[in-house]
Amino acid sequence: MSTTPLRLAVIIGSTREGRFGPTVAHWFVGQAEQHADMAIDVIDLADTAIPAEQQAQPAPKVSTGEYASPQVRTFADRIGAADAFVVVTPEYNHGYPGPLKLAIDSLYREWQAKPVGFVSYGGLAGGQRSVEQLRPVFAELHAVTIRETVSFAMAPNRFDEHGQPHDPEVVNGAAKVLLDQLAWWAHALRDAREARPYNA
């Protein structure tokens, strides 16, 4: 069993101007940093610029990890290096953002046999409809989604001017549960991949 810290990629899924995602992600990263066994890489899709033609590549074409676009190669390297993911996603019109789908679909094998957690935000539903739509997407990519989530209904009203939640005990506790479950799956799946490479 490896004792190397888990590599956690926190993906900010919104790229809109004026988005609230970085505030939510910054808070969550602060919670993840309290896990001594995690090294964190924040991937902001607003800085990724994946070309639109990379969307929905057939699995056989991307299973080798060879990508023509330098932006996708860089993104693939970071996703491939991760042992686990947390997707920070809003809910736009009962769904998740298009750039997030583009980013997910631009890769294939880099997602496989790794756990994915979700932190969502939005209106009254707190982004949960986005999460439920993302679960089958990641299942198709042979990733394992974590049951527990953290969600913020009416998110801008849930944080103060310093980007900290008004009810830290509740949401920090929810983040700990998510991170503990994510770490369990990440360790188990990393050990399994090292013992026997996963081939879909």
Q: Which pLDDT score, from 0 to 100, does residue 62 have? A: 53
- What the chain holds in terms of domains, given with CATH numbers, is 6-195 (3.40.50.360)
User: Could you give the percent of the chain with pLDDT greater than 90?
Assistant: 83
Q: Which pLDDT score, from 0 to 100, does residue 64 have? A: 54
Find, among 28, 12, 11, the residue nearest to 20 by Cα. Answer: 12
User: Could you give the percent of the chain with pLDDT greater than 70?
Assistant: 93
pLDDT above 50 for 49: yes
Quote the DSSP letter at residue 89.
E
Q: Convert the pLDDT of each residue in 56-70 to its tens digit.
A: 455 545 555 578 788
Q: Which pLDDT score, from 0 to 100, does residue 68 have? A: 77
Q: Give, for 43, the enclosing helix (H) or strand (E).
A: strand 38-44
* Confidence tier at 3 by pLDDT (50, 70, 90): confident
Provide the pairing of β-strand 144-145 with 150-153.
unpaired
Averaged pLDDT of the chain? 92
User: How long a stretch of residues is the chain?
Assistant: 200
Q: Convert the pLDDT of each residue in 81-105 to its tens digit.
A: 999 999 999 999 999 999 999 999 9
